[in-house]
Amino acid sequence: MSRPRRVAADQGSPVNTVDLGDLPQHVALLLDLVDSVPPGRVTSYGRLAAALERVGPRHVGALMARYGHLTCWWRVVDASGRLPGALAWKAEPHWRAEATPLADGRTPRVLIARAAWNPPVPR
């Protein structure tokens, strides 16, 4: 399921290579789920938590804050299609490049009703 090594997904991030053997299994599962989100689509912290069945949305958010740079973090938003703080502005170029449906407004936000993707339940 997991690749043996993972490199930072965001070109604006420093390149970090992590040996997945050093990560807890639920973190590797989370990163694999995020990797499976198709370009132009998003999922929520809550949907990822439900798929993992062991953690809540806040825990997923904490894991994404710590390990999100190893995956396409801009495809994980809150239930309203937002990202916290300055992350929305960092995510916007990714969303536009992937043609993710965005709402009009001052702060970048994904139209969750059009872009939502449900992760599969890991086996």
- CATH number for the domain including 101? 1.10.10.10
Distance of alpha carbon 98 from alpha carbon 72, whole angstroms: 11
Residue with tokens 């709402």: 103
Reported as a single tens digit per residue, the pLDDT across 10-22 is 555 444 555 656 7
Residue 13 lies in a domain: yes
Predicted confidence (pLDDT) at residue 7 exceeds the cutoff of 70: no
Residue 105 lies in a domain: yes
3-state secondary structure at position 116: strand
Q: Is the dihedral of CA 74, 78, 82, 83 positive or negative?
A: negative
Residue 121 lies in a domain: no
The pLDDT of residue 97: 97
Residue 123 lies in a domain: no
Higher-pLDDT residue of 100 and 105 is 100
Q: How many domains does the chain have?
A: 1
Reported as a single tens digit per residue, the pLDDT across 55-73 is 899 999 999 999 999 999 9
pTM of the model: 0.82
Residue 53 lies in a domain: yes
Residue 120 lies in a domain: no
- Output DSSP code: residue 53: S
Residue 100: domain span: 5-115
